[in-house]
């Protein structure tokens, strides 16, 4: 892969439901190309889907920030360069991030970039990444077991490392 720009931030979110009408963001991890990172867990008092209860809530142990404080911290982290945001299977990450910031206050380049589509366009099966296929990661020299899957920061860190390995 030959990326268009170095102005990229890798990110991942965890959220309360796959139904975008009721779901909200619970945590977000952002990692710059340099490796500098920001991780936040957000206050939330609504319902959770069963899958989220079983797979996500146990990993949310940090202090919770108000949504407006999260917006400010993310603005401060990102700065004014309007980076390209890259997430893996980014539809939900994008929707819940748009809901958090409001549609007129996005500090990112407006078009969210999807890592799964990048893999597809380079002849690689996105499921190799999603299912952490051993042969795929061995071939590119990345060890996904160093990261906790479904932790938003770890998911963003693994995404950065994989993206860099494929961009060499
Ligand atoms: Mg995740």
pLDDT tens across 151-165, in order?
A: 999 999 999 999 999
Contact 20, 49 (CB under 8 A): no
Distance 166 CA to ligand 1 centre (A): 20
The answer to whether residue 112 scores a pLDDT higher than 90 is yes
How many other CB atoms are there within 10 angstroms of residue 60's CB atom? Answer: 16
Distance 88 CA to ligand 1 centre (A): 9
pLDDT tens across 39-89, in order?
A: 999 999 999 999 999 999 999 989 999 999 999 999 999 998 999 999 999
Distance 117 CA to ligand 1 centre (A): 17
For the domain bounded by 8-167, which CATH number is listed?
Answer: 3.30.420.10
Q: Number of helices (H) and strands (E) in the chain: give both, helices first.
A: 7, 6
Report pTM. Answer: 0.95
Distance 21 CA to ligand 1 centre (A): 20
Distance 57 CA to ligand 1 centre (A): 12
Distance 14 CA to ligand 1 centre (A): 6
Q: C-alpha angle 82/86/89, rounded to 5°?
A: 140
* Domains of the chain, residue spans: 8-167
């Amino acid at each position: 892969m030959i990326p268009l720009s170095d102005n990229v931030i890798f990110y991942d979110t965890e959220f309360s439901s796959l139904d975008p009408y009721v779901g909200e963001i619970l945590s977000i991890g952002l990692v710059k190309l340099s490796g500098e990172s920001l991780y936040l867990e957000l206050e939330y008092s609504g319902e959770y889907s069963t899958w989220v209860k079983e797979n996500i809530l146990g990993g949310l142990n940090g202090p919770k920030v108000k949504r407006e404080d999260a917006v400010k911290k993310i603005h401060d982290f990102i700065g004014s360069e309007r980076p390209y945001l890259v997430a893996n299977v980014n539809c939900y990450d994008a929707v819940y991030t748009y809901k958090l910031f409001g549609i007129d206050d996005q500090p990112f380049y407006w078009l969210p970039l999807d890592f799964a589509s990048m893999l597809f366009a380079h002849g690689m099966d996105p499921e190799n990444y999603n299912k952490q296929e051993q042969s795929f990661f061995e071939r590119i020299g990345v060890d996904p077991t160093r990261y906790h899957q479904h932790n938003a920061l770890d998911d963003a860190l693994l995404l950065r490392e994989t993206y860099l390995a494929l961009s060499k």
